[in-house]
């Protein structure tokens, strides 16, 4: 009996190595096989690459459809670019692409494209410094790819997806994980929707890229969710930025951007929900923030003192540690916190609504003494979440002469949170594990009391003397 | 009335059955635990802590929070404030009453007449009280854990467990300080008064003082962090936040400095501060108590 158990154990230990080792050894092939397949194909023809691992760097010089969905794996073994596209009209579909170089000077990528009209869809890119790198490749589509970066410090990583001077591209349903940015340089008229970026630096990063719509993207646990810089006429609609909390972590950051419209986004548990740095920068431009849910951030809205001409209406500012703050000293009064007599919902609003029209009869003016102290001395942030902070706020409430100027004035605050469709699945219900954990704690207490309370030691002197 | 007559069925051990060092401690600990859980303060504190913890868990998960957006972080932020107020108060006053109370009632003489050393008596009382405090915390966290399970699902069990762990460490550290106060006090009321003063200092005065000094003297981040980490309450808070967020960035420049310089060692440094607050006052208390020739 015992010997058969031993044999089974040995078999279990050895079997996986045998299977994987055998398969890998038998199917690793040179990239020249794929090159010859492409050589034989005519323009526009589909090249179905049979299953196998193809080692080396592939360069595509004519318009073909490279289909790896039978199980083709392209591995550059840590040297250079895995697949480089030089011809217009190439499609790359269903491939597993891995092992680009990691030397940042050559910017090696999983897929680099330097030609227009490329379609890159349903590929899996792993262990690549840059994931997909489009250079002067307008009218391209990047769809349904899964990209994970190299396991490096965030500063040494490459971008998951990068567009450089590539107008009118569609980027949708991609997932990027553990990368630097999904970044757009000098690219206009893009459509960016339903992408997910997790554990990266900037989720979506715009540099000098105008006229773009960002819809329903999910940006989770990055340093910054969406950072728009020097980019105008951008609409953010229905995006979700959660838990983006790097040292300068923002859900949305805007730097010198004109004509931005931000509606129906959820900004939850970020370090800062919305950060405005001199945006809009032009005199005649307006930034519009409507119906966003800004909740559970350390700071809901943070803006540099020179920020002006933004309009906030029907947003819900819920339970942010500070609802709004100025980056440095000053106030946010050159922005409007109401449009046509409709302001925003602030969960710390303490006013009333006698006429029952849903608009509070008292203006909302947040006056936090601790917040004012933070603006003066940022080091004091060490003391948030402590009773001392509460004591300071209490003092300011009790002694009005200590109250600082309010950072902003909402003339017509909403008394109840507006309905905002967030398209976020509710947290899993049925916390059986947490319930069990609670029960365990209770039974520890009960067991302690039972075990210690049993009469074994000295008599109870204290109760004795009391009687 | 003497203790012996109040419990006639319980035989007193004679010198012939002198227990081992640890056995003696365990025996006194058991007695102290029994006394503690039968006392009103234990019931009151347990009730207060449980009610507040359940209330905070419940409120922080109501409204939008019930969608699980905030996860456990928001509940923890609420619980943090509560724990920093209530737990040191519980532990300090419990510790302060331990020796001074017995001394005032005259029962300390009786305890010291047992065939055990003074050190065993003190350590026994300390461990008994510590066990009682931890039981009290278990009840509070257990029931609010039930609330979290009901309202929020199984989010952040690891974080919750770490929160409990650090709270336990904070409790026994504050108990050490309380026992030290107690050893030095003749009367129970004096000990409790000093304990309340210590509580006020640790919870409010030191933080407000550090805030004022960092404004007045323009302290550098490393100085602020060093001074803050000396306070067991701030150490506790930072340790819990590191555990929740994997860094102290939410605490501004000082927090970022701490995370960057100490990296993975940060929770250990903060834990060491709490451990020092446990060990040093307890050791001092033992030395003072053992050296005392009188009761």
> In this structure, what CATH number is given to the domain that contains residue A84?
2.160.20.10
Q: Which of B141, B153, B219 sits opposite A429 (nearest CB)?
A: B153
Q: What are phi and psi of A78, to 5 degrees?
A: 80, 20
DSSP characters over B134-146: HHHHHHHHHHHHH
Q: Is residue A444 part of a domain?
A: no
A218 contacts in chain B (CB < 8 Å): none
Q: How far apart are CA B29 and CA B146, in angstroms?
A: 30
A82 inside 8 A of chain B by CB:
no
Q: Is B69 helix (H, G, I), strand (E, B) or coil?
A: coil
The H-or-E segment that residue A231 falls in is: none
pLDDT band of B69, cuts 50, 70, 90: low
Q: Is residue A139 part of a domain?
A: yes
Q: Which of A377, A386, A429 sits opposite B215 (nearest CB)?
A: A377
Least confident of A190-194, A244-248, B13-17, B183-187: B13-17
> B2, B8, B154, B237: which to substitute to probe chain A, counting the most A Cβ within 10 Å?
B154
Query: What is the domain extent for residue A320?
Result: 26-338
- In this prediction, residues B26-55 reach a mean pLDDT of 86
Contact A37, A72 (CB under 8 A): no
Q: Which two tokens stand for residue A190?
A: 């893009």
Three-state SS annotation for A190-230: CEEECCEEECCCEEEEEECCCCEEEECCEEECCCEEEEEEC
pLDDT band of B2, cuts 50, 70, 90: very low
Three-state SS annotation for A334-393: CCECCECCECCEECCCCCCCCCCCCECCCCECCCCHHHHHHHHCHHHHHHCCCHHHHHHH
Which letter does DSSP use for residue B201 in this model? I
Q: How far apart are CA A313 and CA A343, in angstroms?
A: 5
- In this prediction, residues B94-111 reach a mean pLDDT of 87
> Cβ–Cβ of B143/A459 closer than 8 Å?
no
B149 contacts in chain A (CB < 8 Å): 431-435, 437-438
A440 contacts in chain B (CB < 8 Å): 142
pLDDT in tens, B274-284: 999 999 999 99
- In this prediction, residues B209-225 reach a mean pLDDT of 91
Phi-psi sector, A466: left (phi>0), alpha (psi -120 to 50), beta: alpha
- In this prediction, residues B152-159 reach a mean pLDDT of 65
Q: Which of A431, A461, A467 sits opposite B154 (nearest CB)?
A: A431
B25 contacts in chain A (CB < 8 Å): none
Q: Which two tokens stand for residue A396?
A: 């300011």
pLDDT band of B205, cuts 50, 70, 90: very high
Q: Is residue A430 part of a domain?
A: no
Q: Is residue A395 part of a domain?
A: no
Q: Which of A246, A382, A441 sits opposite B254 (nearest CB)?
A: A382
Q: How far apart are CA A163 and CA A132, in angstroms?
A: 8
pLDDT band of B198, cuts 50, 70, 90: very high
Q: Among B92, B119, B121, B248, which Cα is nearest to B182's?
A: B92
Q: Which two tokens stand for residue A43?
A: 């323009």
Q: Is residue A324 part of a domain?
A: yes
Low-confidence ranges of chain A (pLDDT < 70): 1-27, 421-431, 452-467
Q: How many CB atoms lie within 10 A of CB B215?
A: 14
Overall number of domains in chain A: 1
> A327, A435, A441: which to substitute to probe chain B, counting the most B Cβ within 10 Å?
A441
Q: Is residue A354 part of a domain?
A: no
> Cβ–Cβ of B64/A293 closer than 8 Å?
yes
Q: How far apart are CA B254 and CA B276, in angstroms?
A: 22
Q: Which of A295, A381, A440 sits opposite B252 (nearest CB)?
A: A381
Q: Is residue A9 part of a domain?
A: no
> Cβ–Cβ of A388/B211 closer than 8 Å?
yes
Cα–Cα distances (Å) from A58 to A34, A52, A73, A87, A137, in that order, read 8, 15, 12, 13, 18
Query: How many degrees, rounded to 5, is the angle at CA A386 between CA A384 and CA A389?
Result: 65
pLDDT of residue B75: 66
Q: Is residue A416 part of a domain?
A: no
More confident site: A84 or B153: A84
């Amino acid at each position: 009996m015992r010997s058969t158990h031993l044999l089974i154990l040995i078999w279990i230990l050895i079997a996986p190595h045998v299977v994987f080792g055998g398969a890998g050894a038998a199917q690793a092939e040179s990239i020249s096989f794929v090159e010859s397949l492409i050589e034989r194909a005519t323009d526009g023809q589909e090249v179905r690459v049979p299953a196998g691992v193809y080692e080396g760097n592939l360069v595509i010089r004519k318009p073909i459809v490279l289909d790896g969905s039978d199980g083709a794996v392209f591995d550059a073994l840590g040297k250079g670019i895995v697949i480089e596209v030089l011809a217009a009209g190439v499609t790359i579909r269903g491939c597993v692409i891995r092992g680009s170089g990691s030397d940042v000077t050559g910017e090696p990528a999983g897929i680099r494209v330097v030609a227009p009209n490329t379609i890159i869809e349903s590929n899996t890119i792993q262990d690549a410094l840059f994931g997909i790198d489009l250079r002067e490749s307008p009218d391209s589509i990047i769809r349904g790819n899964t990209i994970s970066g190299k396991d490096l410090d965030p500063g040494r990583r490459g971008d998951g997806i990068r567009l450089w001077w590539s107008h009118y591209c569609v980027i949708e349903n991609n997932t990027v994980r553990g990368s630097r940015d999904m970044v757009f340089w000098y690219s206009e008229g893009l459509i960016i929707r339903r992408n997910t970026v997790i554990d990266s630096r900037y989720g979506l990063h715009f540099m000098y890229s105008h006229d773009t719509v960002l819809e329903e993207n999910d940006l989770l646990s990055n340093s910054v969710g969406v950072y728009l810089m020097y980019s105008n006429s951008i609409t953010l609609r229905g995006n979700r930025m959660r838990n983006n909390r790097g040292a300068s972590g923002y859900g949305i950051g805007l730097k010198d951007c004109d004509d931005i419209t931000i509606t129906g986004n959820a900004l939850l548990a970020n370090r800062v929900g919305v950060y405005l740095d001199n945006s809009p920068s032009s005199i005649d431009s307006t930034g519009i923030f409507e119906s966003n849910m800004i909740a559970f951030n350390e700071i809901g809205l943070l803006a540099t003192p020179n920020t002006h001409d933004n309009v906030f209406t029907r947003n819900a500012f819920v339970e942010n540690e500070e609802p709004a703050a100025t980056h440095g000293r000053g106030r946010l009064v050159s922005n409007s916190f109401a449009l046509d007599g409709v302001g925003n919902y602030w969960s710390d609003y303490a006013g009333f609504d006698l006429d029952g029209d849903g608009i509070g009869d008292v203006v909302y003016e947040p006056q936090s003494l601790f917040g004012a102290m933070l603006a003066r001395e940022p080091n004091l942030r060490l003391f948030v979440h402590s009773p001392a902070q509460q004591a300071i706020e209490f003092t300011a409430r009790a002694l009005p002469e200590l109250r600082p100027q309010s950072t902003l004035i909402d003339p017509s605050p909403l008394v109840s949170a507006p309905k905002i469709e967030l398209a976020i699945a509710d947290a899993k219900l049925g916390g059986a594990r947490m319930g069990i954990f609670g029960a365990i704690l209770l039974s520890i207490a009960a067991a302690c009391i039972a075990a210690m309370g049993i009469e074994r030691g000295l008599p109870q002197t204290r109760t004795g003397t009391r009687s | 009335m003497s203790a012996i007559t109040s419990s006639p069925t319980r035989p007193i051990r004679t010198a012939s059955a002198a227990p081992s060092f640890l056995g003696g401690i365990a025996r006194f600990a058991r007695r102290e635990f029994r006394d503690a859980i039968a006392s009103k303060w234990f019931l009151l504190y347990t009730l207060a802590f449980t009610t507040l913890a359940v209330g905070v868990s419940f409120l922080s998960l109501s409204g939008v929070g019930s969608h699980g957006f905030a996860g456990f972080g928001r509940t923890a932020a609420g619980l943090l404030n509560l724990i920093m107020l209530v737990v040191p108060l519980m532990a300090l006053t419990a510790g302060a009453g331990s020796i001074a109370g017995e001394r005032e009632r005259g029962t300390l003489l009786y305890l010291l007449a047992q065939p055990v050393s003074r050190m065993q008596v003190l350590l026994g009382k300390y461990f008994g009280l510590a066990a009682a405090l931890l039981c009290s915390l278990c009840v509070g966290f257990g029931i609010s854990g039930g609330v979290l399970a009901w309202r929020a699902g199984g989010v952040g069990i690891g974080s919750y467990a770490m929160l409990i762990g650090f709270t336990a460490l904070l409790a026994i550290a504050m108990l050490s300080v309380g026992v030290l106060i107690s050893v030095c006090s003749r009367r129970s009321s004096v000990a409790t008064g000093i304990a309340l003063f210590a509580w006020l200092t640790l919870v409010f005065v030191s933080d407000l003082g550090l805030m004022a000094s960092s404004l007045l003297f323009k302290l550098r981040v490393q100085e602020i962090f060093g001074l803050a980490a000396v306070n067991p309450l701030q150490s506790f808070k930072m340790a819990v936040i590191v555990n929740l967020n994997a860094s102290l960035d939410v605490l501004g420049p000082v927090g970022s400095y701490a995370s960057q310089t100490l990296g993975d060692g940060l929770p250990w440094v903060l834990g060491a501060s709490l451990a020092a607050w446990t060990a040093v006052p307890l050791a001092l208390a033992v030395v003072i108590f053992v050296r005392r020739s009188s009761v």
